[in-house]
Amino acid sequence: MCADHARLALLTGVLWLSEGDAARAATQLNAVKPPKKLEAFHGWYLGEAQAWSGARAAAIKTLTKAKLKAPATLSRRIEVRVAELQLDLGQAAKARPVLEAVASETPTPEALLSRAYARLATNAKPEAQKDLRTLLLRFPTHPHAAEAMRLLSFDGTPAFTFEEQLMRSQALIAQGAPTEALSQLQAATPGEGKDQQASQAKVALLRGQALLALGKEAEAFTELDLAAARGKSATAAEAMMIKARRLMRVQKHGDARALMLALDAKYPDNGNAPEAAYLGAWLSLTDGKYEQAVTDFEGFDVRHPTSKKRDEGRWFRAWAFFRLGRFDEARDSLRALLQDFPKSSLAAQASYWSTRMAQLGTLKQTTTKVTRDDGGQVDSVRASADGGVPINVVQEYRELSRAFAGTLYGVLANERLRELNQPASRVFTEAPRGLTVTPPASLSLALELSRCGLLKDAADEVNRVVGAVGTPEDALVMGHALHTVSEFGAAHGLAARWLWGQVYTAKKPEALALMYPRAYQQTVEASAAQVGLDPFLAWAIMRRESGFRPEVVSSADARGLMQIIPPTAKAIALELKTTTPAPDDLYAPEINVRFGTWYLSALIDRMGHPALCAASYNAGPSAVSKWMAQRGLLPLDEWIEEIPYKETRGYVKQVLADYVIYQQLYGGAEVSPRIVLTLPSPKTSGVAF
């Protein structure tokens, strides 16, 4: 029997199991010999198929045999599964030691319930009740909660203390069950005495949160006001903050800012106070009240010297100065940021804008009216082409392009040099190149799993191997070995962890190939060519979306290399006049890339600029069209800084930088590629999903 036949037989059995046909999976897996090196995995899936089809004793025997050849990552899974099956067969004493350890290490609902069963069956009733109560308090919406309640109810309905009722209500709200939380709070009765009012305030705080989740804003505000008036400092400040954030969300910025400033003044030592002061200042900036924003951020900086957002406060203060046309003060503020917070993540943008403001401060200024979100207008300051430029500005831009080569600000610095009729820097002078390496023996199991189509198991094994890497030299060799088996995501992760200096300081071609790989090159280039898309943009999006890992799934159910969600895949399939892929098919690189490149092409066609395309990929084309209608006259660098969503702002910066870097590394250009600093008007029609 050929190796491919054995691999296909194993994969077929696994697919039957994933479809819920355990009996057919067991028959399939029983009928073939396991592929070499995969005996343990064959035994694992056969044991699972036997267990789910009711043959628990046979499953234990199969799994116990499989454990003898299992790697560490699989051995633990087998051990736990055997214990669960022993418990099902009434062998609680055998199962309990393993289940005790598992629930202590990772107290999931499943682990807690299994341990409770084992404890009940071995006469450890108090310990079992503790597990069941923990499950009910931490995971009240989990399906196992009903079973936990049933087991406790043998001794009558479980009585929760007042604090436990609050804890359970809070968990219900966090897990998307606000109606159930209100019912729980209805039963929450605080004790009598001097703390009764404080306890009532805690109930009001949670009622307010639940009502907000249900969209009952007026009722929620009444409860939150009650909590703020009657609660102790922690409860009151939390209530004020929750109400202020909701006011922000519904665009009542004046009311939100007033409440945040009141919180900061009344409870300056509360953990919410620094955030309230920061957001109050940010609202002034957002509403175009730049003088007020300068004052607010100065006050925030003084009152909260231990806040982790002081560097952001300095940045926004400088931006307010910039909007006022006070470039020298803006530059001073940015220099102070860089001096006081040299390791800040804002160092690149602070350095760029410090130089940009120095440039603007030397040139003749003109202003353009730009419409804000609320319909008002602000002045956007521009510099005309006449006037001299100090030599230090050119020098600073050159240093920026080298020091921040992996960021948007290095790219922008090059564009500003061109604008000043200065030659741009080519930061990466050598094209990436691979190392000729033989995959080490430690990767052999992962390779076999990948060949068999067991991608999740392969990824787990790769992560185990990668976790053992301990030096940059080892990371470089292992990264290129991973490339030989198409494990681009793991190789990129190694580069990001170990090879930063070799990429951006030494600019080693072998390290660049790992940090900026042409992952799944044939698939990407073929799919991009079909829709007329620059493949470098696809790789830039892929790098940000998944880190080149095809098995990735997000909390929003976005899947695969380019993070396509099933509803979007359905809409794209209609446009392509093809069959809608099953959700799990989106993990397949050839399907995911085909759909992702089509969508990118449609966005480029509508938006006309890679920055707008990236913003649309993250936030949706409708939001970007709105931002363009409001601020489309701004130059690219200013427009990006004004994106209202922090996540989208960071996303656009990285994708745009990666896009230019990919062009420079693989496009064959002798100079750094261009990025247009003026934005086009998007089309009014086109892809809208």
Q: Give yes or no: residues 147 and 82 share one domain.
A: yes
pLDDT exceeds 90 at position 545: yes
CA 79 from centre of chain: 32
Domain count of the fold of the chain: 3
- Please state which of the ranges 211-225, 434-448, 636-650 shows the lowest mean pLDDT: 434-448
pLDDT exceeds 90 at position 84: yes
Tens-digit pLDDT profile for residues 294-306: 999 999 999 999 9
646, two tokens: 């922090």
Neighbours of 417 (CB within 10 A): 20
The mean pLDDT value for 40-52 works out to 97
Contact 597, 527 (CB under 8 A): yes
Nearest to 612 by CA among 657, 686, 679, 658: 679
pLDDT-based confidence at residue 451 (cuts at 50, 70, 90): confident
Q: Give yes or no: residues 15 and 122 share one domain.
A: yes
The rounded distance, in Å, linking the Cα atoms of 626 and 375 is: 12
160, two tokens: 């929760």
Contact 181, 173 (CB under 8 A): yes
Q: Give yes or no: residues 9 and 106 share one domain.
A: yes
Q: Any idea which residue has 């209530």 for tokens?
A: 239
The rounded distance, in Å, linking the Cα atoms of 285 and 119 is: 59
Q: Give yes or no: residues 445 and 588 share one domain.
A: no
- Supply the pLDDT for residue 190: 79
Tens-digit pLDDT profile for residues 162-208: 999 999 999 999 999 999 999 999 988 876 555 889 999 999 999 99
The rounded distance, in Å, linking the Cα atoms of 631 and 628 is: 5
- Supply the pLDDT for residue 385: 37
Q: Give yes or no: residues 592 and 640 share one domain.
A: yes
Neighbours of 438 (CB within 10 A): 9
110, two tokens: 């499943």
Q: Give yes or no: residues 622 and 476 share one domain.
A: no
Nearest to 348 by CA among 401, 427, 391, 424: 401
Does the residue 467 lie in any domain? yes
pLDDT exceeds 70 at position 386: no
pLDDT-based confidence at residue 380 (cuts at 50, 70, 90): very low
Residue that terminates a domain, selected from 163, 186, 208: 163
pLDDT-based confidence at residue 373 (cuts at 50, 70, 90): very low
Tens-digit pLDDT profile for residues 94-151: 999 999 999 999 999 999 999 999 999 999 999 999 999 999 999 999 999 999 999 9
- Supply the pLDDT for residue 194: 59
pLDDT-based confidence at residue 388 (cuts at 50, 70, 90): low
Contact 241, 208 (CB under 8 A): no
Q: Give yes or no: residues 470 and 526 share one domain.
A: no
Q: Give yes or no: residues 568 and 534 share one domain.
A: yes
Residue 682's alpha-carbon distances to 29, 227, 632, in angstroms, are 55, 47, 10
Phi, psi of 369 (to 5 degrees): -75, 130
Does the residue 170 lie in any domain? no
pLDDT-based confidence at residue 364 (cuts at 50, 70, 90): very low
Q: Give yes or no: residues 25 and 157 share one domain.
A: yes
Does the residue 552 lie in any domain? yes
pLDDT exceeds 90 at position 73: no
Angle, vertex CA 155, rays to CA 153 and CA 159, nearest 5:
70
The mean pLDDT value for 580-595 works out to 95
The mean pLDDT value for 636-665 works out to 96
The mean pLDDT value for 40-53 works out to 97
Does the residue 593 lie in any domain? yes
User: What is the 3-class SS of 624-682, one letter each residue?
Assistant: HHHHHHHHCCCCHHHHHHCCCCHHHHHHHHHHHHHHHHHHHHHCCCCCCCCCCCCCCCC
Burial class of residue 616 (count of CB atoms within 10 Å of its CB; 0-12, 13-18, 19+): buried
- Supply the pLDDT for residue 191: 66
CATH number, residue 124 = 1.25.40.10
- pTM beyond 0.75, yes or no: yes
Q: Give yes or no: residues 495 and 612 share one domain.
A: no
Does the residue 304 lie in any domain? no
- Supply the pLDDT for residue 153: 83
Contact 381, 360 (CB under 8 A): yes
The mean pLDDT value for 62-74 works out to 94
The rounded distance, in Å, linking the Cα atoms of 373 and 285 is: 12
Does the residue 455 lie in any domain? yes
Residue that terminates a domain, selected from 515, 549, 566: 515
Does the residue 239 lie in any domain? no
Per-position DSSP letters for 337-401, written without gaps between them: HHHH-TT-TTHHHHHHHHHHHHHHHHS-EEEEEEE-TTS-EEEEEEE-S-S---HHHHHHHHHHH
The rounded distance, in Å, linking the Cα atoms of 229 and 237 is: 10
The rounded distance, in Å, linking the Cα atoms of 370 and 368 is: 6
The mean pLDDT value for 664-688 works out to 86
Question: What contacts 108, CB < 8 A, 6 or more positions away?
Answer: none
Q: How many alpha carbons lie under 13 Å from residue 255 in its C-beta half-sphere?
A: 13
- Supply the pLDDT for residue 395: 94
- Supply the pLDDT for residue 629: 94
Residue 478's alpha-carbon distances to 154, 307, 443, in angstroms, are 57, 40, 9
pLDDT exceeds 60 at position 379: no
pLDDT exceeds 80 at position 54: yes
Which residues are bridge partners to 318 per DSSP? none
The rounded distance, in Å, linking the Cα atoms of 512 and 499 is: 9
Does the residue 425 lie in any domain? no
Range of the domain at 494: 441-515
Cα torsion 440, 441, 446, 452 to 10°: value is 110
Tens-digit pLDDT profile for residues 201-239: 999 999 999 999 999 999 999 999 999 999 999 999 999
Q: Give yes or no: residues 72 and 124 share one domain.
A: yes
Contact 7, 33 (CB under 8 A): no
Contact 506, 409 (CB under 8 A): no
Q: Mean pLDDT of all residues in the chain?
A: 92
Residue 618's alpha-carbon distances to 275, 343, 682, in angstroms, are 26, 28, 16
What percentage of the chain has pLDDT greater than the value 90?
Answer: 84
pLDDT-based confidence at residue 365 (cuts at 50, 70, 90): very low
The mean pLDDT value for 639-656 works out to 96
Contact 663, 537 (CB under 8 A): no
CATH number, residue 655 = 1.10.530.10
Q: Give yes or no: residues 36 and 152 share one domain.
A: yes
Which amino acid does the sequence have at 411? V
Residue that terminates a domain, selected from 163, 188, 216: 163
